[in-house]
Structure 1
Amino acid sequence: MTALNPYEQKAQQVFGEVCVNKALVQQAGFGTRSIPTFVSEWIVTRHAPDGILDDLARDKIRNFLNKHLPTRDQKQQLKAQLKNGETLTILDQYNVAVDLKKDQHDVTIPSLDEKKAGIVEHLLELYPLLLGDGVWGVGKLNYQPPDKSRDGQIILSDFRPMQNSTLDLDLFCERRSEFALDEWRDLLISSMGYNPEKYSIPQQMHLLTRLVPLIQERVNMIELAPKGTGKSFVFLNLSRYARLVSGGKVTAAGLFYNNNTRQVGLLGNYDLVVFDEAQSLSFDNPGEIIGVLKDYLESGSFSRGGTQKIEASAGIMMLANIPLDEYQRPRHRNLFSELPAFLGETAFIDRIHGILPGWELPRIKNSLIATGIGFKADYFGDVLHGLRHRAGYEQIVIQHNTISGTNDTRDTIAITRLASGFCKLLFPDGLVSPEDFREYCLKPAVQLRQRVRDQLSLLDPEYSDVSIGW
C-alpha cells in the first residue's frame, strides 16, 4: 500500500469518517454503470466502512448493485417481479412531472425506462425537489394492478434521498487550522477527484475556481477550453446541488418558470445551473429567454408570464469548447467568436463575473484522477452548499481589498463575490493573512474579471481599456 502524504494522514486523523480513499471507487468494479461519483462513494463506504476493499466487501457491493442498481437489460425481469407482487428497492435518479390534463403526477424511473409511475402524495411534501429534474435516492416500488377505473401502474411508495448524515460546518471551518495552506489545497483538489501531485499551483487554482459558483451565491462564469480538459467532471460527480444542461435547446419554462404547471425552473431549485457544450446552446424563444436571463444575472430575480418576481441565488456556469493555436493558446483574440451570438453581446458578457482559462489545464488522463484521500463527495458537496449562506467572508474582502484601476460597480461586485468564494474554499475559518488573501483570493478574482474587461474593450469601444490592480 502506498504511503500517505502528510495532508492525507491529517485528513484521516482530523476528519475521520467523512474522508474516503478515492482509489476504492475505481477498484470497486462498477463497470460501465453510469452513476455520479458521490453515488459510487456512497455505495462503497457503506460496504467497506473501514476502508478495506477485501473479497467480502466486493461481494457486498456486487450483491447491492445486482439487487438495487439494475442495468437497463434487467428492466423486463424487474417489471415481471413487480407484476408478481414483489416489492423492489431501487437506487436511481427519480423525478416527478405534473400532468394537469389528467390531474396526476408522473414519476420517471430511468432504470426501468418508466415515465408514468405513480407516487404516494405525501412524498412530494417531504421531498419537493422530486418535482425538479431528478433526485438520487432509494425508492420502494410496488405494482398496482388494473381495475375498472384505471390502468395498472408502478407506484413509488417510499423514498429516501441520498444525503450526508454528518455535517458540522463549524467543525469543518475550525479544523482548517490543522493544515498548512498547501496541504489544504491538495486536500480540496483530491476531494474534487483530481490528483493534486500532477497539477501546478496555478493549475490547482484553476481547478478550485470551478468550485467558486458552488460555494458562493450568484457567481456567473464561463470556462473556455478545448475538448477533454474535464470541464464538466466536477459538476457531474460532486454536488447534487448542481444541474448540468448539456447543449441543445433550453426552454424558458425549464429554466425560469412553467406557467402551465406553476413550477419554478432550474434557477429556483439548484445552487448552480451548468450549461455544458455552450457552443451548441440554443433557446426555444431566444428573445424572451436572453432578456430574462440578463435581468436575472444582474438582479438575482426573474419573472415570466405575469408572475411575481422570483428571487433565486443560483449561479450560472457556461462550459464551451474553443479552438487553440499551435502554442495551445486561443486561436482568436475574440474568445466568443465561435460561440452563439448572444454570448458575444457585450451586455451579456459584462454580467459574467469571470472567464476561466481552461486552455491552461491539461487533457484528462488516468494519472490526473485522484487515487488518494479526500472528502467524500456527498459530504464535500454539502459543505459547499452550507458555506454559500455563511456570513462574514465579504467583510474579510472589504477589510483586505486593495484593488485599483477601476471604480466600475460590476467589476467591484464580481471581484468581491469571486474573492469571497476563494476565501471560503481556502480559509473557511476566516484566518488569513493580508499577503495570503491578496495572492490566493484577490489576485485570482481580479484575473478572472480582467479577462472579461479585456473582451469588452476588444468588442465594444464604449468599454474603456481597464487594467485592474491588486
Structure 2
Amino acid sequence: MRGNQVPAHTPVAPRSERIPMLPYETKAQEIFGEVCVNKGLVQQAGFGTRSIPAFVSEWIVTRNAPSGVLDDAAQERIRTFLNKHLPTRDQKEQLKAQLQNGETLTILDHFSVEIDLKKDDAYLRIPCLDEHKAGIERHLTESYPLLLGAGVWGVGKLRYARPDTTERKDGHIRMSEFRPMQNARLDLDLYCEYRAHFSLDEWRDLLIASMGYNPAAYSTAQQMHLLTRLVPLVQERVNMIELAPKGTGKSFVFLNLSRYARLVSGGKVSAAVLFYNNAKNQPGLLSHYDLVIFDEAQSLSFDNPGEVIGVLKDYLESGSFARGGKQKIETSAGLMLLANIPLDEYRQPRHKKLFNELPSFLSETAFIDRIHAILPGWELPRIEEGLIGRGIGFKADYFGDVLHHLRNRAGYEQIFQRYNSISGTSDRRDMIAISRLAAGFCKLLFPHGEVSRGDFTAYCIKPAVELRQRVRDQLSLLDPEYAEVQIGWE
C-alpha cells in the first residue's frame, strides 16, 4: 500500500440490517474501506436548519459515529458537537458573551479573510457570529491562502481581544489557530488501481451514489448526464451550461461535493469578484477555484458588462486574463452556468433557440462558441425523496479531493488521440471541446486508463460529441456565418 491511505477491508456499516447491500456497495466497502460512508446515516443524523455542505455533515457524522452505527450514544455525540462547535445564528450573542468573559471558542465554520491595504490589516469573516471584521494572526493567511477571498471550511480557535486605548484599537474577536477541513493523505494511484475491481456499471453506480443520488432511480443515459456535471471538476478549463426547469437539482452536487468549486447565485457579478480586485490587490474567484458556477444564470448580470464579458471571452479562449494593466494571470478554472428554461407539454425546450429567455450575452455567438458543452438537464427528473442516495458511496471530501487531483493526472488526452474517430468537423474549437470532454469522462469512468476502443467511443467520445453538437446547433440557428455541422464518430 502506498502512502498512508486507509487500508482495504476496513468495515463500513451496511445501510440497514433489513436491506442487503448491492454488489457495488459490497465491493466499495471491502476495497476502499473507510473512505466510504453510509449516505443514509447523514440523512438520519438530523442537522436541523444548519445549512452546511455534505462534506461537512459527513465529516461530523463519521467522527462521531466511527463504527458506522447511529445509535443513541452517537446521536448524543453529534448533538453535543453541533451545539459546541457549529452554532446556529441565534446563539451568536451568547457566544460573544462567552468570548467577552474570557472563554476561548473552537468553531467549525466557513471562514474568509479580506485584506485592507489602507489600514495594512486583514479582516476575518465568521458567518455564524455575523462578524465581518474579526482579527486573524497573519501567519494563518500565509499558511492557508484559501482563506483569502471566498474562504474555506475549517476549525478556528477564537478569543476576544479587549480594547487597547494606547494603540487606539477597538475590542475585537481574533482567530489564533486554524485547521482547514481536509481529507487524510490521498493515494490517487491506489484509487485508480482499485477501479479495476469493478465492472463499468458497478463503478458508475458508485460514482452516482458518491454524488448523493440514488443510482437505481436513474437510467444509464440519465446517469451519464449526472456525471457530466463532474467533468468540469475533473478536467481543466471545461466551460459548460446546463439548461433545465426548476427542481432538477442543477446546483445540488456543487453545493455539497467539492470545496474546490464556488457557486455564485444570480444577481450582479463584478470584474473585481470574478477576475482581480485592483483596489485590494487580490485575485478573484477564477484564481482560487477549479470551477466557478453561476447558478440562476437567467438572472445573471454584470457591473460594467462590456468589460466583464470582454475579459471573460478572452479567458474562455486562452485560460488567461489581464485587468486594469495588471500582469496577465493564467489559471485552469472552468466555468459552469446553470439556467432555468421553460419546457413544453412533452418536457422539451419551448424554444428551438435555447438561450431565448436568457441574458443577452448568452445569445452572442462569439461567447457561445467558447462554451464547450450544453447539458440537457431537461432530460433529468425533478429531485424527489426517492432520488436521494442512502447507500454506500465515497465520502464527499475524499471524492472531491480525488476529482481535484485527477485534473492534473496525465495520459487521458493520449487515449483520446489513440481512439479519436471524429468526423464531420475540423474546427479547432470543436476538437478542443470534444477532446477535453472525452478526457474528463475517461478520468471519471476509467481512471486506471484501461479502456477498450469500443467503451471509450461509447462512454467518452459519444457523450462528448453530443454535448458539443448542441452548441453547434445553437450557433447555426443564431448566425448564418456558422454553417450547420453534423459531428460524428466511427
What TM-score do you get using the length of structure 1 for normalisation?
1.00
Which of the residues 334, 348, 373 maps onto 2:353?
A: 334
Tell me the equivalent position of 2:194.
175
Q: Kindly report which structure 2 residues correspond to 1:58-137, keeping only aligned pairs within 5 A, or say none.
A: 58-137=75-154
CA distance in 1, matches of 2:93, 2:366: 52
Tell me the equivalent position of 1:414.
433
CA distance in 1, matches of 2:330, 2:116: 26
Tell me the equivalent position of 2:234.
215
2:150 maps to 1:150: no
2:306 maps to 1:276: no
1:100 deviates by 2.2
Tell me the equivalent position of 1:441.
460
Question: What 5-or-longer segments of structure 1 have no aligned partner?
Answer: none
Which of the residues 298, 307, 313 maps onto 2:332?
A: 313
Structure 1 SS opposite 2:300: strand
CA distance in 2, matches of 1:122, 1:105: 11
Q: Kindly report which structure 2 residues correspond to 1:323-362, keeping only aligned pairs within 5 A, or say none.
A: 323-362=342-381
What TM-score do you get using the length of structure 2 for normalisation?
0.96
> Letter of the aligned partner of 2:192 in structure 1?
C
1:32 deviates by 1.2
1:101 deviates by 2.5
CA distance in 2, matches of 1:130, 1:275: 21
CA distance in 2, matches of 1:6, 1:92: 37
> Letter of the aligned partner of 2:284 in structure 1?
G
Tell me the equivalent position of 2:396.
377
1:240 deviates by 0.1
CA distance in 2, matches of 1:451, 1:29: 42
1:340 deviates by 0.3
1:102 deviates by 2.1
Cα deviation 1:341-373 (Å, max 9, x = unaligned): 001100000000000000000000010000000
Which of the residues 171, 185, 195 maps onto 2:204?
A: 185
1:99 deviates by 1.6
Cα deviation 1:164-206 (Å, max 9, x = unaligned): 0131000000000000000000000000000000000000000
Tell me the equivalent position of 2:273.
254
1:98 deviates by 1.1
Q: Kindly report which structure 2 residues correspond to 1:20-39, keeping only aligned pairs within 5 A, or say none.
A: 20-39=37-56
Cα deviation 1:420-447 (Å, max 9, x = unaligned): 0000000000000100000000000000
CA distance in 1, matches of 2:48, 2:142: 36
CA distance in 2, matches of 1:310, 1:120: 28
> Letter of the aligned partner of 1:68 in structure 2?
H
Structure 2 SS opposite 1:92: strand
1:246 deviates by 0.3
Tell me the equivalent position of 1:203.
222
CA distance in 1, matches of 2:231, 2:57: 24
1:466 deviates by 0.3
1:54 deviates by 0.8
> Letter of the aligned partner of 2:268 in structure 1?
K
Which of the residues 4, 13, 16 maps onto 2:33?
A: 16
CA distance in 2, matches of 1:275, 1:121: 32
2:396 maps to 1:396: no
Which of the residues 296, 313, 317 maps onto 2:315?
A: 296
Tell me the equivalent position of 1:162.
181
2:61 maps to 1:44: yes
Structure 1 SS opposite 2:50: coil
CA distance in 1, matches of 2:277, 2:46: 41
1:103 deviates by 1.9
> Letter of the aligned partner of 1:139 in structure 2?
G
CA distance in 1, matches of 2:115, 2:143: 17
1:382 deviates by 0.1
Cα deviation 1:211-270 (Å, max 9, x = unaligned): 000000000000000000000000000000000000000010110011111111000100
CA distance in 2, matches of 1:64, 1:175: 34
2:305 maps to 1:286: yes
CA distance in 2, matches of 1:274, 1:51: 33
Tell me the equivalent position of 2:3.
none
Tell me the equivalent position of 2:480.
461
CA distance in 2, matches of 1:364, 1:291: 36
2:12 maps to 1:3: no
CA distance in 2, matches of 1:468, 1:134: 42
Structure 2 SS opposite 1:141: strand
Tell me how large the CA RMSD over aligned residues is: 0.5
CA distance in 1, matches of 2:220, 2:352: 26
> Letter of the aligned partner of 1:91 in structure 2?
L
CA distance in 2, matches of 1:120, 1:100: 16
Structure 2 SS opposite 1:274: strand
Structure 2 SS opposite 1:279: helix
Report the number of matched residues. Answer: 470
Identify which range, 451-460 or 93-102, moves more after superposition. Answer: 93-102
1:58 deviates by 0.6
CA distance in 1, matches of 2:196, 2:61: 29
Q: Kindly report which structure 2 residues correspond to 1:226-245, keeping only aligned pairs within 5 A, or say none.
A: 226-245=245-264
Identity of paired residues, percent? 76
1:154 deviates by 0.2
1:147 deviates by 1.8
Identify which range, 420-429 or 98-107, moves more after superposition. Answer: 98-107
> Letter of the aligned partner of 1:291 in structure 2?
G
